[in-house]
């Protein structure tokens, strides 16, 4: 029980963000209106995704520095979960865009960057599946993962800032932080939601890592 407190915290925080997200007061703004509540879901899922991708690339680096297969399993599972989070973020984002910008896929550098980033990580999974030998697969996948992450940062964080984007914080559009859009009422839901989704993702990841580690152990014993 002592070790599991964060799982309870994950459930409580996500439940809180869902209930609070739908019921608490939000500022009334033109165009956005009630859709601003999507901030609690769309943005927080993306945050959790980026955190997990960072975990993944960190473990890839650790794999390359010691060639311990354990780190490769973590890297792979982190990518898997972040793809799920990324797709959820994409769907919620499209819903939001449909009601505020008029169409689900407006031509926006951030959207395109994210679509490309998803392609990167799908390519990562395809690459993994095309190599049979375990150590070799781990090594090559780690290299591609590091490559992909650096490019992902460039394409989704640096590049959109140079061009006009519909998203806040890009190309002259003020971000939520220095805008009075997001007031303290929203912050008390927004930050816990980020922590909640990250913890939920960590929990799923932990289960999957255990499953794969056990599988690897069983395979090595039967051979």
Nearest approach, Cβ of residue 54 and other proteins (Å): 17
Among 9, 143, 166, 204, interactor with other proteins by CB under 8 A: 143
Nearer to other proteins, 88 or 131 (CB): 131
Three-class secondary structure assignment of the chain: CHHHHHHHHHHHHHHHHHHHHHHCCCCCCCCCHHHHHHHHCHHHHHHHHHHHHHHHHHHHHHHHHHCCHHHHHHHHHHHHHHHHHHHHHHHHHHHHHHHHCCCCCCCCHHHHHHHHHHHHHHHHHHHHHCCCCHHHHHHHHHHHHHHHHHHHHHHHHHHHHHCCCCCCCCCCCCCCCCCCCCCHHHHHHHHHHHHHHHHHHHHHHHHHHHHHHHHHHHHHHHC
**Total interface residues for other proteins by CB under 8 A:** 30
Q: CA dihedral in degrees (88, 93, 98, 100; nearest 10)?
A: 150
Nearest approach, Cβ of residue 168 and other proteins (Å): 20
- By CB under 8 A, tell whether 84 contacts other proteins: no
Nearer to other proteins, 90 or 182 (CB): 90
Nearer to other proteins, 17 or 156 (CB): 156
- Provide the b/e sequence for 56-68 (b: ≥16 CB within 10 Å): bbbbbebbbeeee
Nearest approach, Cβ of residue 178 and other proteins (Å): 22
Lay out the site mask for other proteins across 113-132 (x = CB under 8 A, - = otherwise): x--xx-xx--x--xx--xxx
Nearest approach, Cβ of residue 13 and other proteins (Å): 33
Among 47, 155, 190, 197, interactor with other proteins by CB under 8 A: 155
Among 8, 29, 87, 154, interactor with other proteins by CB under 8 A: 154
Among 12, 19, 87, 150, interactor with other proteins by CB under 8 A: 150
Residues that bind other proteins (CB under 8 A): 64, 112-113, 116-117, 119-120, 123, 126-127, 130-132, 136, 139-140, 142-144, 146-148, 150-151, 154-155, 158-159, 162-163
């Amino acid at each position: 029980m002592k070790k599991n407190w964060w799982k309870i915290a994950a459930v409580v925080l996500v439940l809180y963000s869902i209930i609070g997200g739908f019921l608490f007061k939000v500022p009334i703004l033109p165009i956005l209106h009630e859709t601003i509540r999507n901030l609690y879901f769309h943005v927080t899922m993306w945050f959790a995704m980026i955190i997990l991708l960072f975990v993944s690339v960190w473990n890839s680096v650790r794999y390359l520095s010691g060639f311990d297969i354990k780190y490769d399993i973590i890297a792979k599972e982190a990518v898997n979960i972040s793809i799920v989070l990324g797709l959820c973020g994409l769907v919620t984002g499209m819903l939001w865009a449909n009601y505020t910008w008029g169409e689900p896929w407006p031509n926006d550098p951030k959207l395109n960057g994210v679509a490309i980033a998803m392609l990167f990580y799908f390519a990562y999974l395809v690459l993994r599946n095309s190599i049979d030998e375990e150590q070799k697969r781990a090594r090559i996948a780690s290299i591609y993962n590091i490559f992909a992450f650096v490019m992902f940062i460039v394409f989704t964080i640096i590049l959109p800032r140079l061009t006009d984007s519909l998203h806040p914080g890009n190309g002259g559009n003020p971000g939520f932080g220095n805008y009075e859009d997001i007031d303290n009422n929203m912050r008390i839901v927004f930050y816990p939601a980020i922590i909640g989704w990250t913890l939920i993702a960590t929990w799923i990841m932990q289960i999957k890592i255990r499953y794969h580690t056990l599988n690897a152990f069983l395979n090595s014993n039967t051979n």
